[in-house]
Structure 1
Amino acid sequence: MASLLRFADTDYFLSGRFFKDLESDHPVLVDPLWLGTKLESHFKDFPLPKTDSSNSFSLVTSGSTGVPKIVWKDWNEIQNEVDVWLQEPYTKVMFQETNQVRVHVPLCHLYGLLWGFLIPRALGLPMIMGDTQSQNKSELWITSAPHLQSIISNKTQLPKRAIVSGMKFPVPLARELRDLGGISLIEIYGSTETGGMGYRDPLRQNRFQLLNEVEVNFQKEGETSELCIKSPFVSRKYFSFSENEWVLQNLPNHSFYATGDLGEISDLGFYLLGRKDRIIKHKGKRVSLDRIESEILGLKLEGQFVCVPVFDDSGDTIGLFTNTKDPIDKIYQTLRNELPDSHLPRVIVKQNQIPKLPNGKTDYQTISNFCLEEYKRLKTLKENRNSQFKITTDTSVSDIMQSILGYVPQPNEHLVYDCGMDSILFTEMFLKIESIIEHKIPEEDKQSGYFVSLSGIEEYIKDKLYLQ
């Protein structure tokens, strides 16, 4: 059976061409956004894999490296997964009293294909793609956390029900949705390779409930464990592109598949810490960069935020890259108020655009390099200032600020400032103030509004610590 390349848009599925292809060929489904990019050459310039298996197709995916992978799917396995999800109590509840499904995700990806196309089709429900002005209360949305966040920001009416996937749902966003009231959510947990593994209600649950069909095992990964699964929905083979050809990779029968997700399981369900290649040790704690991004998503900050590791001789730390129009002082103050210290970035870089890979995904490597360069610059600046500035009992707050910023700020001027007052210097400010007053400033005080201006700091020292 020949493999048939399809840049699969919505019309491809709704017109019925997908099912016609299944009858005679093996369709290889590629995101239309890849058309015209250099990734297209992987499929146009080199022979596609072939199969003897009828009624099968492939989904093309790629990770943070941008290297494509062709994941093989048998139609019977997909149909079995649809049947299983239709029997899940949460699924039945979500589709009750639903007269149409509004889909905000591409159908050429597994989550969109299952929840935005095949399950509604099995239930005989009409589909609407994308946002339109006409909405009704009985709609079910197949969407994502970023899209729900944008809906809240634009003050558009939310649906009563929504199914999301693609990331661990942000706690602040879940809290905000709960406060607004009237919405029910299911978050689907899985990947193209694994199929659906479980679900949770992000408004009420911190752990995923895994399907009965999923058998789990854990492989020790440092101080944490990687989730490995056996499931009838796991793809048994895929092709990776290497040295100008598609190389077959087989998963042995009855073996466990390593998901790449770290976490732990209990009677309450599976707690997802994050992807193992996105976890670093920061301030003595293992921290998921994906989780930090997820938390920032729920903080009502304008723009996109990408969290990356910054590797330095003194230890790993966190960098934050953004295309926001907000000043860095507002960003950092918000993060200090909402995030634990272990999740606070040591450097924030702001540019107009987020670097992307050819597949449209975030270019984490380039962003990491930007943050590392800025981190080294600030670290050198800090070392130079420390060597030139000595604190004595006669040192004033103005002297401290001048040593950090390079100038004396005006009263009521923000200190966490675009021209240089980033998270490293903000920390340095506290260390120097604590040194001169010989008093440890409580963390809750550091996160107060006193420390955004020179006058605020002076007021804190006088009023809170009774110093002159």
Structure 2
Amino acid sequence: MDSQKTSAQVMTLPMCQWLGTERADDHLVAWSETREHRQRDFRRDVAALFARVSASLCSRWALCLEDNYSFAVALLAVLYSGKTPVLPGHFRQSLLTEQCDEFDALITDLPLQLNCPVLRFPFFADEMLLVLPAFPENASLILFTSGSTGKPQKIIKPVSCLERESQWLSAQWGAELAGSRFAATVAPHHMYGLSFAFMLPLSLGLPFATNSVQYHEQLRSLAAKIPLAFVSSPAFLKRLDATLAPVTLREVFSAGGPLESDTAQLVKETCGCPPTEIYGTTESGVIAFRQQTQPGEAWTLFDNVDLRHQADGTLSLISPIIPQPEGIALNDKIKLSPEGSRHFDLLGRKDRIVKIAEQRISLDEIEQRLRALDLLTDACVLTIEKQRRVSVAAVIVLSHTGDALLQAENRNVLFGQIRHALREWLSPVSLPRYWRIVPAIPLNQQGKRATAELQEMFL
């Protein structure tokens, strides 16, 4: 794909105009198999929830909502009230309890029980439409990184940065998305889902599905009825069923990791278009994109985004949608194409390095050593803190050999043999102190490791 291909300019609306008269009362905002939400409903529901949120003294509102329309209503209601939406990135009660110092109240459509004020969906919306105040200047929301090397890090994301990012995406794909609807496997509680499954359709005035797509059959059923743009991840796309009759989608977006070339080809054959892969982070927003016309296609930077060599030999990302004028370091190994080019290759993640007992520990190396053992087929390691002590914890998937040992002996014998094998390569402080056995490493809606679920295993 050529960088920033030329297309007709497509108008996007900033968030402050999403509820305005620019869109007619019967404009379709979101839909499900059983219900359609129109612009008049959107205005009424936001105003009704705004009245409740603004009457509260709480300033930071966690949003834990499975229904995507409810998420849109809640996020706008909190922002219009001059308060801050907090997107924890997961809905797990035990971890939300641990994270409770990050928010003051909760809006949810789930049976969560927390020691804070809770507003629950569905709620009754008064037919009398309240007049919303002016949209606040400098509005922002809070997201969290995945926390793959420890505690998730809080990221404050200005709405203005999200809007500018939507303008970039619209300039690139808006013309071909015109007249389509959005469906997604990813949730808007993470940066990728927030940008592509929430900000982009609402900025363009395109309807989005209230429910996440779970299966290929659902996707095919939707695509057979309406022009569809699909926001997904490698974990879902690699499971597409080549035996199902193909459909034609307007666009397929994928993020969360590079697609294997055979998966990209599978998407093209089953969905009628090559997937567009997005590279970005929670901190940076979008960075680059590609379509694999051939295996290992290079990535293309978005306009105004640059990668610059620093004096120490590292690369920094410079982007107008991040607050640091000096740029931020990326956690991926990158090889730039020849001087002056806007292209680069991704060479994999840098080692996840943590410091324990003054020693630098590579979590990636521990995982690699675990996966190399005959007793295991997969492993994931993370750090946890108990009694003010940080330790390595491992979630493992047993092979037939490992399962046979567990059945013949016990867990202590199994873990003892694993530790003994690891000591050949790892220092004592690197050896996992806590263990959990699972049938498969859990993944979240983004197709990444479900860090919150993994951490919860060790509470």
TM-score of the aligned structures, taking structure 1 as reference length: 0.53
CA contact (8 A) 1:162 1:185 kept: yes
CA distance in 2 between counterparts of 1:4 and 1:124 reads 28
CA contact (8 A) 2:264 2:275 kept: no
Q: Deviations over 1:317-353 (max 9, x none)?
A: 6543xxxxxxxxxxxxxxxxxxxxxxxx5656148x9
CA contact (8 A) 2:304 2:320 kept: yes
Matching residue within 214, 218, 223 for 1:136:
223
CA distance in 1 between counterparts of 2:157 and 2:89 reads 19
CA contact (8 A) 2:267 2:274 kept: no
Q: Any idea what SS the aligned residue of 2:326 has?
A: coil
1:122 pairs with 2:203: yes
CA contact (8 A) 2:89 2:190 kept: no
Q: Which amino acid aligns with 2:253?
A: I
1:146 pairs with 2:202: no
What residue number does 2:145 align with?
61
What residue number does 2:299 align with?
208
* Distance 1:45-1:17 versus aligned 2 partners, 3 A rule: closer
What residue number does 1:309 align with?
365
1:233-272 alignment, distance < 5 Å? 233-234=321-322, 236=323, 251=324, 254-266=325-337, 267=341, 269-272=343-346
Larger Rg: 1
User: Displacement, 1:265?
Assistant: 0.9
Matching residue within 88, 92, 95 for 2:177:
95
CA contact (8 A) 2:149 2:352 kept: no
CA distance in 2 between counterparts of 1:70 and 1:195 reads 14
Q: Which amino acid aligns with 1:134?
A: S
1:184 pairs with 2:274: yes
Q: Which amino acid aligns with 1:4?
A: R
What residue number does 2:83 align with?
26
* Distance 1:69-1:378 versus aligned 2 partners, 3 A rule: closer
User: Displacement, 1:71?
Assistant: 0.6
CA contact (8 A) 1:5 1:43 kept: no
1:156-167 alignment, distance < 5 Å? 157=246, 159-160=248-249, 161-167=251-257
User: Displacement, 1:15?
Assistant: 5.0
User: Displacement, 1:274?
Assistant: 1.8
CA distance in 1 between counterparts of 2:392 and 2:228 reads 36
Q: Which amino acid aligns with 1:113?
A: L
TM-score of the aligned structures, taking structure 2 as reference length: 0.54
Gaps of 5+ in 2: 1-56, 106-135, 354-361, 385-390, 403-414, 424-459
User: Displacement, 1:365?
Assistant: 4.8
CA distance in 2 between counterparts of 1:110 and 1:122 reads 16
Q: State the structure with bigger RCO (CA 8 A, min sep 6), 1 or 2.
A: 2
Q: Deviations over 1:23-76 (max 9, x none)?
A: 23332423463441235322248889xxx9741111123321341222111112
Matching residue within 86, 99, 109 for 1:42:
99
Q: Any idea what SS the aligned residue of 1:33 has?
A: coil
* Distance 1:34-1:277 versus aligned 2 partners, 3 A rule: farther
CA contact (8 A) 2:333 2:349 kept: yes
CA contact (8 A) 1:210 1:269 kept: yes
User: Displacement, 1:163?
Assistant: 0.5
CA distance in 1 between counterparts of 2:198 and 2:422 reads 52
User: Displacement, 1:260?
Assistant: 1.6
User: Displacement, 1:134?
Assistant: 3.0
1:275 pairs with 2:349: yes
Q: Deviations over 1:170-193 (max 9, x none)?
A: 223224444657222111110110
1:6 pairs with 2:62: yes
1:173 pairs with 2:257: no
Say which is worse superposed, 146-155 or 98-107, in terms of deviation: 146-155
Matching residue within 387, 394, 405 for 1:366:
394
User: Displacement, 1:261?
Assistant: 1.6
Q: Any idea what SS the aligned residue of 2:192 has?
A: helix
CA contact (8 A) 1:264 1:270 kept: yes
1:278-297 alignment, distance < 5 Å? none
* Distance 1:81-1:46 versus aligned 2 partners, 3 A rule: closer
What residue number does 2:320 align with?
232
CA contact (8 A) 2:86 2:142 kept: yes
* Distance 1:176-1:103 versus aligned 2 partners, 3 A rule: closer
CA distance in 2 between counterparts of 1:373 and 1:81 reads 50
* Distance 1:229-1:14 versus aligned 2 partners, 3 A rule: same
User: Displacement, 1:158?
Assistant: 5.4
Say which is worse superposed, 152-161 or 198-207, in terms of deviation: 152-161
Q: Which amino acid aligns with 1:114?
A: S
What residue number does 1:412 align with?
none
* Distance 1:175-1:378 versus aligned 2 partners, 3 A rule: farther
CA distance in 1 between counterparts of 2:162 and 2:70 reads 15
CA contact (8 A) 1:7 1:35 kept: no
1:195 pairs with 2:306: no
Q: Any idea what SS the aligned residue of 2:162 has?
A: helix
User: Displacement, 1:4?
Assistant: 1.3
Please provide the CA RMSD for this pair. 4.1
Gaps of 5+ in 1: 237-250, 280-288, 290-306, 312-316, 321-344, 381-468
What residue number does 1:349 align with?
376
Q: Which amino acid aligns with 1:262?
A: K
User: Displacement, 1:367?
Assistant: 4.3
Q: Any idea what SS the aligned residue of 1:309 has?
A: helix
* Distance 1:154-1:146 versus aligned 2 partners, 3 A rule: farther
What residue number does 2:439 align with?
none
* Distance 1:374-1:147 versus aligned 2 partners, 3 A rule: farther
CA distance in 1 between counterparts of 2:420 and 2:242 reads 35
Question: Which structure features the higher share of helix residues?
Answer: 1
CA distance in 1 between counterparts of 2:373 and 2:311 reads 29
* Distance 1:30-1:40 versus aligned 2 partners, 3 A rule: farther
